[in-house]
Amino acid sequence: MANLVSTWSKTTQILPENYIFPVDERPGSVEVPLCQNIPLIDLSQSQSQTVQEILDACQEFGFFQVINHGVSEDLIDDTMKVVKEFFNMPDEEKEKLCSIDPTNSRKFPTKSCKLYTSGSNYANEEIHFWRDNLRHPCYPLDEWVHSWPEKPTNYREIVGKYSIEVRELSLRMLELIREGLGLKPGNFGEELTGGQLLSINHYPRCPDPGLTLGLPKHADPNLITVLSQGSVYGLQIFKDDQWLGVEPLPHAFVVNIGHQLQIISNGKLRSAEHRAVTNSTKDRTTIVSFINPCQDTIIEPAKPMIGNIVPRFRPFKFKDFLKIYAEKKGDAEAITKVYKIQP
Ligand code: OGA
Ligand code: NI
């Protein structure tokens, strides 16, 4: 794949024009402060305390970090190592391992394990994102693991273990959220959690980080996201018209609410917009696990969340939401408008 940014950017000191974002979208030269208020939640404390902290975090920020989460530090380190090794392999090797269709279109993938560069449709984009992206489904593992890269040789074993543990952690957090919302046990069952996608972002060091983005402003289309950002800073969240930096904490996971959980909670929980910036000195690799509803699942505000008030969103099938998400290029306001019931 000739256009992988990690490959050609090694030999250039200049940011190509088609990577330069419009003035109002680019990060610019003003430094975004690391936010000390994004909640850091210790999962080893009492359950009632955790439920309260998670619910507060989901309402105020839509984001939090977790520690003492039960996923071993060695597994996190090994996974980060093996995904970095993947991106360091020669392009020919990577091409053999993944399906790369000529349009580089995520909308119509021909194979389940795919390597992309930039966004959802490279060929039709005006501006490209400064990232390469490997993504594959993970759940149930037996169904998908054979489509994953065969190299590095321990990729499947390590990433398989990681995806199982991170899925379990995600379900555990959904249970705590369910309790906090006062929903009945079983509310986040297989229909809502039957899909898991692993998305590995690789953002090479960039000659001009102020002008471009690894990922532009978006909210995630899924239920809940668990992200491992390693030790390199780059994630920012948008709150009260300001960008806030999320501090990389060793072995912590960053958790955020996706559009689906915002809608199920009738807007009580925030699906916050966020973006990834680049930097000029270090490559940055992030491992993102998305828990998704099944394609045909109907999503709507949970009855107990509505009570005597009216639902704020109309029902829809998850797969139809994904189409709208792609059409609107992740623009949270435009997407929400499609599903919002106007008062
Ligand atoms: C994403 C995402 C942020 C990051 O993959 O949806 O927001 O820091 N990633 O890589
Ligand atoms: Ni995201």
- In three-state form (DSSP H/G/I as H, E/B as E, the rest C), the secondary structure along 56-84 is HHHHHCCEEEEECCCCCHHHHHHHHHHHH
The CA 184 to ligand 1 mean position distance, Å, reads 31
Cα of 152 to ligand 1 centre, how many Å?
23
289 in helix, strand or coil?
strand
Question: Residue 338: its pLDDT value, please?
Answer: 95
- pLDDT over 60 (residue 236): yes
Could you report the per-residue pLDDT of 123-181, keeping only the tens digit for each?
888 999 999 999 999 999 999 998 899 999 999 999 999 999 999 999 999 999 999 99
Residue whose CA is at the smallest distance from ligand 1 atom 7? 275
- At residue 234, φ and ψ (nearest 5 deg) are 175, -15
Decide if 7 is inside a domain.
no
Q: Residue 2 pLDDT > 60, yes or no?
A: no
Listed residue (120, 119, 125) closest to 108, CA to CA: 120
Q: What is the mean pLDDT of residues 200-217?
A: 97
Q: Distance (Å, rounded) from C-alpha 189 to C-alpha 9?
A: 44
pLDDT (0 to 100) of residue 100? 54
Distance 275 CA to ligand 1 centre (A): 7
Residue 115: inside a domain: yes
9: Cα within 13 Å, side-chain hemisphere: 24
Joined tokens for residue 183: 């929903």
- pLDDT > 70? residue 107: no
Contact 143, 157 (CB under 8 A): no
| CA nearest ligand 1 atom 10, residue | 286
Residue with CA closest to ligand 1 atom 5: 288
Q: Check whether 342 has a pLDDT greater than 80.
A: no
- Closest ligand by atom to 236 CA: 1
82: which residues sit within 8 A by CB, 6+ positions away? Answer: 152, 154, 155, 158, 159
- Going from the Cα of 343 to the center of ligand 1, the distance in angstroms, rounded, reads 33
238's tokens: 């948008």
Residue of 133, 228, 235 best suited for mutating to test ligand 1, as the one with most atoms within 8 Å of CB: 235
Which ligand is the nearest neighbour of the Cα of 288?
1
- pLDDT higher than 50, residue 110: no
| Residues with Cβ within 8 Å of residue 167, at least 6 apart in sequence | 138, 139, 196, 289, 291
Ligand nearest to the CA of 199: 1
The residue segments making up the domain with residue 84 are 32-339
Peptide bond into 152 cis (omega under 30): yes
Residue 20 lies in a domain: no
User: How many Å apart are CA 53 and CA 198, to the nearest integer?
Assistant: 27
Report residues whose beta carbon is within 6 angstroms of any ligand 1 atom.
Answer: 199, 201, 215, 220, 229, 234-235, 274, 276, 286, 288
Mean of per-residue pLDDT scores for the chain: 93
Span 25-30, average pLDDT: 94
pLDDT digits (tens, 9 = 90+) for 289-338: 999 999 999 999 999 999 878 899 999 999 999 999 999 988 999 999 99
Looking from the CA of residue 288, the nearest atom of ligand 1 is 5
Q: Over range 229-252, report the average pLDDT.
A: 97
Give dist(CA 155, CA 83) in Å, integer. 7
pLDDT-derived band at 109 (thresholds 50, 70, 90) equals very low
> In angstroms, rounded to a whole number, what is the distance separating the alpha carbons of residues 219 and 290?
12
* Res 108: pLDDT: 42
Q: Is 103's pLDDT higher than 60?
A: no
Burial profile 178-217: b = 16 or more Cβ within 10 angstroms, e = fewer: bbbbebeeebbeeebbebbbbbbbbbbbbbebbbbbbbbb
Neighbours of 87 (CB within 10 A): 19
Instruction: Kindly tell me if the per-residue pLDDT of 242 is higher than 70.
Output: yes
Average pLDDT in the 209-238 region? Answer: 97
Q: Is residue 265 part of a domain?
A: yes
Task: Tally Cβ neighbours within 10 Å of residue 124.
Answer: 10
Instruction: Read off the pLDDT of each residue in 33-43 and give the average, rounded to a whole number.
Output: 96
Place of tokens 């930097």: 279
256 CA closest ligand 1 atom index: 7
Ligand 1 atom nearest residue 220's Cα: 6
Provide the pLDDT for residue 99.
Answer: 58
Residue type, 126: E
**Residue 48 scores a pLDDT above 60:** yes
Residue 104's pLDDT is: 45
In a domain, 90, yes or no: yes
Closest to 206 in 3D by CA, of 129, 135, 274: 129
What is the 281 CA–ligand 2 centroid distance (Å)?
Answer: 23
Contact 271, 262 (CB under 8 A): yes
CATH number reported for the structural domain that contains residue 285 in this entry: 2.60.120.330
Token pair of 84, please? 């970095």
What spacing in Å lies between the alpha carbon of 220 and ligand 2's midpoint? 5
- Tokens standing for 252? 């912590």
What mean pLDDT is predicted for residues 50-57? Answer: 98
* Model confidence at 102: pLDDT above 50: no
Identify whether 5 is part of a domain: no
The answer to whether residue 23 sits within a structural domain is no
pLDDT of 211 above 70: yes
Query: Mean pLDDT across the stretch 47-72?
Result: 98
Is residue 126 one of the residues assigned to a domain?
A: yes
Token pair of 127, please? 């501006």
Q: Into how many domains does the chain fold?
A: 1
CB-proximal residues (5 Å) to ion ligand 2? 220
